[in-house]
Chain A
Amino acid sequence: GDSVTQMEGPVTLSEEAFLTINCTYTATGYPSLFWYVQYPGEGLQLLLKATKADDKGSNKGFEATYRKETTSFHLEKGSVQVSDSAVYFCALSDLRGAGSYQLTFGKGTKLSVIP
């Protein structure tokens, strides 16, 4: 079946540091890939997505490139801020039984940014 593997957290960075959160996946079909962010006590917000190989999703300074050859979708940001402290979920959308697409999530990576 499908699966998403994210780097183990928590990750603690100083403000303005470079961020990478690794994400790799296995999928039986040709999935779309997503990063969602969850701030403390809140629901999930879509951060960015990519729907085909070599696509780059970007939003709020975050980027991720759909790498089919390495089955990866690593999240990066050049300079993190305290307000980026949150849990980040990598997810894929792939075809399940009965012809419907469903999300498969990674376990999440908690990021803490300190001033």
Chain B
Amino acid sequence: DAMVIQNPRYQVTQFGKPVTLSCSQTLNHNVMYWYQQKSSQAPKLLFHYYDKDFNNEADTPDNFQSRRPNTSFCFLDIRSPGLGDAAMYLCATSRDLQVRTDTQYFGPGTRLTVL
């Protein structure tokens, strides 16, 4: 089945220790997104890639970076995690950015704990 895969499902890191979360997709979609979801809240968009073009949301902290080495993979790097960065991180994909009827497909998420 075509899908969005996130690894690991659970990640524990220490305060200030860099961490990388991984997302891969078999849908061959052009767009990949990273969202942060804190407990009992709606997902918050951090940034997205359209192919190799990176678009950062205005309020995304500099501590969050992303890489997309190819169509299938996208990484979220947190350079110096703080306690406030503990959250569920969701990866999503969509076929295009300019299609009103397009759908975003989400992965299962990575739960990040910061000690």
Q: A: which residues have CB within 8 A of B?
A: 29-32, 34, 36, 41-46, 49, 51, 89, 93, 95, 98-103, 105-108, 110
Residues in chain A near residue B104, CB distance under 8 A: 46, 93, 103
CB distance from A27 to the nearest CB of B (A): 11
| Alpha-carbon distance between A27 and B67 when the two chains are bound, in angstroms | 32
| Alpha-carbon distance between A100 and B97 when the two chains are bound, in angstroms | 5
Beyond A42-B109, A93-B100, A100-B98, 5 extra complex contacts between A and B, CB < 8 Å: A43-B90, A43-B106, A44-B43, A45-B106, A108-B42
Which listed residue, A29, A43, A46, touches B103 by the CB 8 Å rule?
A46
Which listed residue, A42, A95, A107, touches B42 by the CB 8 Å rule?
A107
Contact A42:B100 (CB < 8 A) given known A89-B42, A102-B45, A107-B42: no
Main secondary structure of the interface of B (DSSP, over half): loop
Are A43 and B108 closer than 8 Å at their CB atoms?
yes
Residues in chain A near residue B105, CB distance under 8 A: 46
Are B100 and A95 closer than 8 Å at their CB atoms?
yes
CB distance from A30 to the nearest CB of B (A): 7
Which listed residue, A43, A101, A106, touches B100 by the CB 8 Å rule?
A101
Residues in chain A near residue B88, CB distance under 8 A: 43
- Cβ of B59 within 8 Å of any chain A Cβ, yes or no, is no
Which listed residue, B43, B45, B90, B101, touches A32 by the CB 8 Å rule?
B101
Contact A51:B100 (CB < 8 A) given known A107-B41, A107-B42, A108-B42: yes
